[in-house]
Amino acid sequence: MSTVFEKIIAGEIPADILHHDDLVTAFRDIDPRAPTHIVIVPNRAIPTVNDATADDEPALGRMFTVARTLAARDGIAEGGYRLIVNCNKDGGQEVFHVHMHLLGGRALGPILARPG
């Protein structure tokens, strides 16, 4: 069964698409957690990072260079930003198509709350 991200890549459901090339697609998150919240996905549907292979390295690398380009375009490169990739249940992954979150536009604080 295809995920919502495959449908966005295929143009079957609307999204605010910022970038699309032969390897990756980027669009604004529908439920932004920061002034800039962009999702960057490989066009090939890799369910989780655990499923990534050496063949995916060009797309996974492209995700970083697209992230830096979009961060600059949104004016957050100098101030800084966070890139997050969640994997499986404990990682908080909800959409099972590998994706990178690009978050910024405000001070994001420490990476995680300390336990306890």
- Active-site residue numbers? 99
Within 13 A of 76's CA, how many CA atoms are on the CB side? 21
Q: With CB under 6 A as the contact rule, which of the stretches 40-48, 52-60, 74-82, 90-98 interacts with ligand AMP? A: 90-98
Does 30 contact ligand AMP by CB under 6 A?
Answer: yes
Rounded CA separation 56/59 (Å): 5
**Cβ nearer to ligand AMP, comparing 5 with 62:** 5
Which residues in 52-71 contact ligand AMP (CB under 6 A)?
A: none
Does 108 contact ligand AMP by CB under 6 A?
Answer: no
CB of 67 to ligand AMP, least distance (A): 15
State how far Cα 113 lies from the chain centre: 21
DSSP strand pairing (100-104 vs 81-84): antiparallel
Q: Judge whether 28 and 15 are in contact, CB under 8 Å.
A: yes
**Cβ nearer to ligand AMP, comparing 77 with 96:** 96
- Which is nearest to 4 in space by CA: 91, 100, 97? 97
Does 86 contact ligand AMP by CB under 6 A?
Answer: yes
Rounded CA separation 40/62 (Å): 10
Does 115 contact ligand AMP by CB under 6 A?
Answer: no
State the residues that interact with ligand AMP by CB under 6 A: 4, 15, 27, 29-31, 39, 86, 92-95
